[in-house]
Amino acid sequence: MRLRVLAGAAVTVAVLPSAGVAQAMVNGTPVTDPSTAQWVATIDPIGTGSLFDTAGCGGALVSSDRVVTAGHCVDELDPYRMRIHINARTLSRDPGIVRGVRGIVVAPGYTAVPTPGDADPNDASGRDDLAVILLDRPVDGVPVLPIASSRPAPGTPISVFAHGNTGKAVSFEDPAYRDDTLHRGNLTVISHADCAAATPATIDERSVLCAQDTVTHRVGGCWRDSGSPAVHYVRGRPELVGLFSFGGETAGKECAPTFEGLADPTAFRDWILGPLSAHEPYPTGEPVVRKTSGSLHCVPPQWDSVRGRPPTSSSVDWSTLTWMGSLPVLTPIPGATSADLPDHGKGEVVCAVTAANSGGTIRTWSSGVHLAG
């Protein structure tokens, strides 16, 4: 799946090429018209530091206070830290309109589907891979992106707008690893049969729309393009028809121009724009680590009953903390899955709390604490 720098519960930051492109989608073209795609959203899961460094997935503003994105983009991330940027054209100098998160709801059937014979979760396909982010305040002065009433037929031209990674950088510090400006890539909808033939992955026909560059055979998606919107223009008016979910990585072709699996928002239109009562857990702050005689104790956060619903399950684990530029890297400590951790050894650690309910799963972590040893 197209996430890689903010991927999963095991690590907050994974390997590069990251969940995210120096050509947005590979071989896309810069969007120079400031009136085009103002509804593009950029998700910053850290909420501090340079947006160019920390931006993760994309999304689309579909009402004044709702952004729709891929479910795997928010799965196990912390809504308390998250910031959403609307119409951020150039990440290094233009943050766009910034909003906090009032709540997140992941589609009830969302599942990452492992590719047969491939144990890497980054290479999974997705089923019902959608989520709605409720903003803490409405966004004024930006046109929303309407959701198409039905899925476009094979042969239909569509355009994707994204800020991803080319995956060509050899170092995270290399500024070429990231697309600074918003890019556009033109694709064509392909049939389910052609999509299924391009990969050993399972393609869920009901919730996945597939597309490909059938003209130049050069444009494709890459890491951090997840959640980015695909639109079809009807009489010059854009309508949302897809959200980047997965692609060539399921067939061993990372960032190569190949097929793109898009989560289909047209199949979830009523749900996306509906009441959304089951919000995932929302912490009121970070977990706190208290030092006791010879050990560290993790105190989980309280839960916001307005922005989220109480967790139905939760767990605690401990990780060492290092940094990849401005991004934290959490590496789990084997066997450290209780609220207490012996205070010995060296380095910086955090306690992490994972909590879930029917609205989704979140993972939040404490500030770093240096071990005494």
Please give the full DSSP string across 86-109, using - where no structure is assigned. ES-SBTTT---EEE-EEEEEE-TT
**Does 192 or 293 have the greater pLDDT score?**
192
Quick check: do 29-272 and 288-370 share a fold?
A: no
Q: What is the mean pLDDT of the chain?
A: 88
Residue 202 burial (CB count, 10 A): 17
Q: CA triplet 362, 359, 329: central angle to 5 degrees?
A: 15
Per-residue confidence (pLDDT) for residue 165, from 0 to 100: 62
CA–CA separation, 109 and 278 (whole Å): 13
Q: Hey, what are 103's tokens? A: 């709540």
Q: So what CATH class is 288-370? A: mainly beta
- Per-domain boundaries in the chain: 29-272, 288-370
Q: Hey, what are 242's tokens? A: 């897809």
Per-residue confidence (pLDDT) for residue 178, from 0 to 100: 63
Identify whether the C-beta of residue 280 lies closer than 8 Å to the C-beta of residue 364: no
Tokens 């994204």, residue? Answer: 162
Give the model confidence (pLDDT) of 230-249 as tens digits: 999 999 999 999 999 999 88
Q: Hey, what are 225's tokens? A: 């393009």
Query: Torsion over CA of 233, 235, 237 and 243, rounded to 10 degrees?
Result: -20
Does pLDDT of 14 surpass 60? no
**C-alpha atoms less than 13 angstroms from C-alpha of 225 in its C-beta half-sphere:** 43
Does pLDDT of 28 surpass 90? no
Tokens 């903003």, residue? Answer: 135
Per-residue confidence (pLDDT) for residue 298, from 0 to 100: 97
| Nearest in space to 107 (alpha carbons), one of 224, 267, 294, 301 | 267
Q: Residues of 115-149 as b/e, b for ≥16 C-beta within 10 angstroms?
A: beebeebbbbbbbbbbbbbbbeeebeebebbbbbe
Does pLDDT of 20 surpass 60? no
Q: Name every residue whose Cβ is closer than 8 Å to that of residue 335 and which is 6 or more positions away in sequence.
A: none
Q: So what CATH class is 29-272? A: mainly beta
| Nearest in space to 243 (alpha carbons), one of 212, 274, 264 | 264
Does pLDDT of 260 surpass 80? yes
Q: Span 122-129, mean pLDDT?
A: 93
The pLDDT confidence band at residue 146, using thresholds 50, 70 and 90, is very high
